[in-house]
Amino acid sequence: MLRAIREYFAATRALEVETPALGAASVTDVHIASIEATPSGRRSFLQTSPEYPMKRLLAAGCGDIWQIGKVYREGESGRWHNPEFTMIEWYRVGYDHHSLMSDVERLISAVLPASRQFDRAERLTYREAMQLHAGVDVFQDSTPMLVARLHSAGIEMPRDLANDRDACLDLIMGTLVGPQLGLDRLTFVYDYPASQAALARVHGHIASRFEAYMDGIELCNGFHELGDPQEQRARFEHDAAERQRRGLPVVPIDENFLAALEHGLPECSGVALGFDRLVMCAVGARHIDEVLAFPFDRA
């Protein structure tokens, strides 16, 4: 499968790159926890994604780029998670997120065995997916209505998050909607609420972001990339404030990444795909340990 991925990117004229696994800054997203290290007494972080350095390469004029690499996340261990896992990340210059979804579909089709080939992928907006599989309207229903929907399914919302609308939506997506996606073909969910934009562009109340699902498993997360350095700094600072409010470790903002945005990020879209999960889909595995030679408990 790795050979097929390399052949696909060679055929589509993307440059393979390599970026550091250890950096002085890390992601500020409150939903992702970094693993700290102190080489030579310097506070550093194992990277949760190669996103920031890869965008620095894009700003330097590298054009279409891709990478296979190990990434690391604290507290992620279970059926679908291992603290160390393999990520395939790539960026296409001149693409929006719709064009990149088609690229993702072609790559996955090129990599999966004949027994797992599928018809043309399904595409649903985030709003459509939540209405279809959970019966909620993400833009109209109140937060208490979202909590009530979770309770009706026997899912308890943590008390400290019961007033957090995005936390409610994430739990509905993770427990009620996601497991029903991609059961007979690849499914893309796109146009997320602006409050869940991460590093995607925003148009009104919609973020240019997508995810892909197969066998009820989230495989990848992609964006029409935000290139505005002021907006990106504001999002980082909002994340830092939210981390402090929640009592989470505050990580340094990546000033080198922001400087690259100041220099100028080309119009582009990018996506990060969990390779181990794709292997699970290829072979019908039900636990990530089945496709890892050395899962964390045996590393």
pLDDT in tens, 227-285: 999 999 999 999 999 999 989 998 999 999 999 999 999 999 999 999 999 999 999 99
Residue 288 token pair? 């990530």
- Tokens 């936390």 correspond to 167
State the virtual CA torsion across 31, 53, 253, 39 in degrees, nearest 10.
90
Amino acid at 166: D
- Specify the pLDDT at position 161: 79
- Sorted by where each begins, the domain ranges of the chain are 2-121+185-298
CA–CA distances in Å: residue 50 to residues 17, 35, 154, 218: 10, 14, 38, 19
- Specify the pLDDT at position 156: 87
Does residue 37 sit in helix, strand or coil?
strand
In the DSSP assignment, the letter for residue 162 is T
SS (H, E, C) 49-90: CCHHHHHHHHHCCCCCEEEEEEEECCCCCCCCCCCEEEEEEE
Who wins on pLDDT, 187 or 161?
187
Say yes or no to pLDDT of 91 above 90: yes
Residue 237 token pair? 């600072």
Q: Which CATH superfamily is domain 2-121+185-298 in?
A: Bira Bifunctional Protein; Domain 2 (3.30.930.10)
Cα–Cα distance measured from residue 113 to residue 109, given in angstroms and rounded to the nearest whole number:
8
Q: Taking the CA of residue 135 as centre, how many other CA atoms within 13 Å lie in the half-sphere pointing to its CB?
A: 7
Strands 206-214 and 202-203 turn out to be: antiparallel
133 exposure class (CB count in 10 Å sphere: 0-12, 13-18, 19+): middle
The answer to whether 101 touches 119, Cβ cutoff 8 Å, is no
Among positive and negative, which fits the CA dihedral 27, 3, 91, 18?
Answer: positive
Give the tens place of pLDDT for each residue, 36-69.
999 999 999 999 999 999 999 999 999 999 999 9
Give the tens place of pLDDT for each residue, 21-31.
999 999 999 98
Cα–Cα distance measured from residue 222 to residue 275, given in angstroms and rounded to the nearest whole number:
15
